[in-house]
A = this chain, B = another copy of it.
Amino acid sequence: MKQQMAMQVVNGVDVSKLKGTIEAIKGTPSLADFRFRIVNKWQGGGLNQTTVKASYGAGQEFPERDGKFTMQADEPPILLSKDEAANPVEHLLHALAACVTTTMVYHAAARGIPLEAVESQLEGELDLHGFLGLDPKVRKGFKSISLSVRLSGPLSEAQKQEIVNLGPGFSPVYDMVSNPVPITVTLAP
């Protein structure tokens, strides 16, 4: 049984484990509850650094992830800082691209569809009137995002379109950017 499970790897995803996860959640729905946590510290000007904290999921804490990853953000000189890292809206595009890609890869794996390459190009358009408070009718964030995906593999055009649709269909970050998420902001004492 174990040998058979080990062979069901598609796109680098162990489909046996994926199906096991699905069955486990069907049996115990609370296993689907996940929590992801970070801490961010300002480092002066437009520079700041995030540290990933322990996460929670499938009924357990994962303390070994506490402090494992750090990411910085900065702004380029035209936006008054030193360009030591990608800026926050570029990180949002990264989160979106990464999530759509992983969603396509995992859901294609679950369908037994092998992929050879996935590459996406993203662009977001922003009008600084919003951030600067110069026009309350102009939104602060991107007015729109374009996401172009190139897929390679033994795929028909219909299959490629099916896989591309899995991104908008199931990606958590796509959901969070295209639909509202409630954010509670509090001032810590």
Binding site for B on A (CB under 8 A): 11-14, 17-18, 21-22, 25-26, 29, 31-42, 44-48, 50, 52-53, 55, 57-58, 62, 65, 68-69, 71, 73, 75-76, 78-81, 83, 85-103, 105-107, 115, 117-134, 139-151, 160-161, 164, 167-189
Contact = CB atoms under 8 A, between A and B. Distances in A.
A131 B185 CA distance: 26
Contact of A38 (B39, B71, B73, B94): B94
Contacts of A86: 38, 52, 69, 71
Nearest to A57: B78
Interface core residue of A21, A101, A151 (most chain B CB under 10 Å): A101
Contacts of A87: 36, 98
Contacts of A39: 119-122
Could you say how many copies of this chain the assembly holds? 2
A97 B12 contact: no
A47 to B, nearest CB: 8
Nearest to A160: B187
Given A134-B25, A141-B176, A186-B147, A73 B95 contact: yes
Interface core residue of A11, A69, A175 (most chain B CB under 10 Å): A69
Contacts of A175: 130, 139-141
A25 B90 contact: no
B89 A91 contact: no
A92 to B, nearest CB: 4
A32 B97 contact: no
Contacts of A80: 13-14, 17-18, 21, 106
B173 A37 contact: no
A187 to B, nearest CB: 5
A29 to B, nearest CB: 7
A148 to B, nearest CB: 5
